[in-house]
């Protein structure tokens, strides 16, 4: 496998953080090919159901294919059973897909259901690990430095949003494969998935 393919596989920063009542999820915009910045506005954060999101680190084609597949599967599940799939169920489904056909990706399945807020890290071979917060991609070491210092299970939505933005800023400043802005979304039982507008994101960043 070439160095270029390895760089395309791993260069990214994504984050998921639980808080009391919901989850914050985010990702940067940069796509790289080795040392070359191939694109400055790549989508790495996907809504796959009303209260579940997917973040992707890895090959863009694999990531986009998985996002489409998962959105369709979760929609079919809800239509057939008249109830949404749980976050754990979505994580298990994703892991099973990757076991059968490995992709060059590292994923987060993030969302809320009747059991509470959840963040699952899914590796390329189908491993699924739940946690209170998680970061993926080449920028993750820099994000973990921020997350492990400042995360608290009792955080409010605004505190968790600020922490996610701060973690993504840290990766953008130190990881050459991350940056060019970010997407952030909040997921709650009451309001479902809602991505922050540009004005809301600017307000969060200016407060840091």
Residues 33 and 177 sit within 8 Å (Cβ to Cβ): no
- Catalytic, 10? Answer no
> What value, to the nearest 5°, has the Cα angle with vertex 57 and ends 159 and 18?
25
Dist. CA 111–CA 84, nearest whole Å: 12
Which of the residues 12, 55, 94, 161 is marked catalytic? 12
**Residues taking part in catalysis:** 12
């Amino acid at each position: 496998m070439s160095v270029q393919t390895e760089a395309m596989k791993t260069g990214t920063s994504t984050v998921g953080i639980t808080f009391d009542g919901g989850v914050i999820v985010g990702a940067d915009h940069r796509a790289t090919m080795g040392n070359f910045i191939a694109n400055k506005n790549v989508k790495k954060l996907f809504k796959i159901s009303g209260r579940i999101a997917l973040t992707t680190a890895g090959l863009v084609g694999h990531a986009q294919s998985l996002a489409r597949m998962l959105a369709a599967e979760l929609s079919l599940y809800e239509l057939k059973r008249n109830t949404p799939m749980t976050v754990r169920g979505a994580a298990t489904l994703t892991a099973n897909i990757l076991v059968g056909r490995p992709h060059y990706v590292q994923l987060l399945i993030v969302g809320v259901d009747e059991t509470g807020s959840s963040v699952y890290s899914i590796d390329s071979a189908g491993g699924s690990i739940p946690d209170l917060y998680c970061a993926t991609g080449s920028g993750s070491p820099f994000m973990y430095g921020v997350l492990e210092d400042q995360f608290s299970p009792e955080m409010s939505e605004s505190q968790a949003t600020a922490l996610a933005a701060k973690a993504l800023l840290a990766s953008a400043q130190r990881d050459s494969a991350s940056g060019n802005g970010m997407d952030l979304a909040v997921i709650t039982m009451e309001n479902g998935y809602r991505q922050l507008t540009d004005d809301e994101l600017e307000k969060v960043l200016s407060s840091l």
